[in-house]
Amino acid sequence: MDTPILSALPGAAPTLAGEGSVLDEPGLEGTVVALTADHHAYASEHERATRAQIAWRLARLKKARFQGEYDSAQSYAAPVYFVPSDTLVGSTWAETLGIQSHQALFGGVVPHPFVLTKTITHPLVDPGAAAPAGWSHGFAGQVAHTVLEGYSAFAADDARRAGLRLLELGPVRLKPARATGGRGQQVVRDRQALEDSLAAMDTAEIAAHGLVLEENLREPVTYSVGQVHVGNAVASYYGWQRLTVDNHGHEVYGGSDLTVARGGFDALLSLSFPDELRLAVEQARIFHRAVEGAFPGFLASRINYDVAQGVNGAGRWCSGVLEQSWRVGGASGAEIAALEIFDEQPERRAVNASCFEFYGEGVVPPPNACVYFSGVDASVGPITKYTVVEP
């Protein structure tokens, strides 16, 4: 098996586990650690390598020590800054780690498991439908003009009723709540296809985590809209996602091209770009504010919203938030690269940064790339991940 490459930058490189301090120079204050949940979907080799690299780069930005993977038995110099593999669920874990604000992590904390999934995007099919503990019946109304037509379901019967209602408007996309990168999604165009698809699904999975049923858009364009807070630095961005083909022949996430502004969403909106992009940014901002108001205990320093635009089954152009991410994500390499540019060039107001994910052998990153992983991952096969910043 190939040895994974962790960084194309000179100097110290991160390790995948807590093997002692990797960035520990005189004058550093505080500690940055990666945090990987056991048996987690984001615990694969390439995900851990990417997270270690990002945590190391965040430590450089914060002028703190990077000490690999978090070990609860080890003592760390305070303050401790965490880079988790996923959004943290519940205040208990966050309090145990000492996370009291968004300044203590690169990611987010939510009060209930469903809040971190795409199910919060849509309402239930009716008030009597099955719902998880903590469900907000009012949230859907607050974001109705920022999302596509759709429903979330936590029971197969509810999903069937929701699907039939949506089929009256056109084809329906079924989206398992926990699937990422477009995996597991399917489009149904009639009642029989809906029945067959639901019959093949795990009812226990639907009950525990939910299923999203949403109007399908033809040839949609998907934008990424996000914001990161690291210390006193804030950067906001819009961008495009690219698809690629994985080692099994499936279309999956292949990277993002971001335009990043120094500051909040107002700074981003001060840039010149088309009206449809401006709408996507506004929808993401409204959605985020609604989350902050509807779910006490929510906090995040890294936010990312996917916004799709395209034509629905009735021939109407639509725009809406698809889902959110409050954890290290596919675009995080580009986000961190932009923060580094802003740190090095105080006069810089905006930067273009891109991240790439390619599957298969023989991928050669450009000379100016920062390589996050290049090798054979046991879970996905050969994969290369890198970031490039516009000069």
Cα 159 to Cα 25, 183, 208: the distances in Å are: 55, 19, 14
Rounded to two decimals, the pTM is 0.89
- Identify the band that residue 309 occupies on the pLDDT scale cut at 50, 70 and 90: very high
Q: 61, 89, 111 — which closes off a domain?
A: 111
At 34-52, the pLDDT tens digits run: 998 654 556 688 888 999 9
- The answer, yes or no, to whether residue 201 has pLDDT greater than 90, is yes
Residue 87 counted as domain residue: yes
For residue 39, is it left (φ>0), alpha (ψ between -120 and 50) or beta? left
- The answer, yes or no, to whether residue 3 has pLDDT greater than 90, is no
The answer to whether the beta carbons of residues 346 and 246 sit under 8 Å apart is no
Considering the domain architecture, whether residues 267 and 336 belong to the same structural domain is answered as yes
Considering the domain architecture, whether residues 181 and 252 belong to the same structural domain is answered as no
Considering the domain architecture, whether residues 224 and 212 belong to the same structural domain is answered as no
Say what the pLDDT of residue 42 is. Answer: 61
At 270-295, the pLDDT tens digits run: 999 999 999 999 999 999 999 999 99
Considering the domain architecture, whether residues 261 and 299 belong to the same structural domain is answered as yes
The total number of structural domains that make up the chain = 3
- The answer, yes or no, to whether residue 4 has pLDDT greater than 70, is no
Considering the domain architecture, whether residues 195 and 304 belong to the same structural domain is answered as no
Q: Report the distance separating Cα 161 and Cα 80, nearest Å.
A: 48
At 340-366, the pLDDT tens digits run: 999 999 999 999 999 999 999 999 999
- The answer, yes or no, to whether residue 106 has pLDDT greater than 70, is yes
User: What residues make up the domain containing 68?
Assistant: 31-111
Considering the domain architecture, whether residues 226 and 211 belong to the same structural domain is answered as no
Say what the pLDDT of residue 22 is. Answer: 56
Considering the domain architecture, whether residues 103 and 122 belong to the same structural domain is answered as no
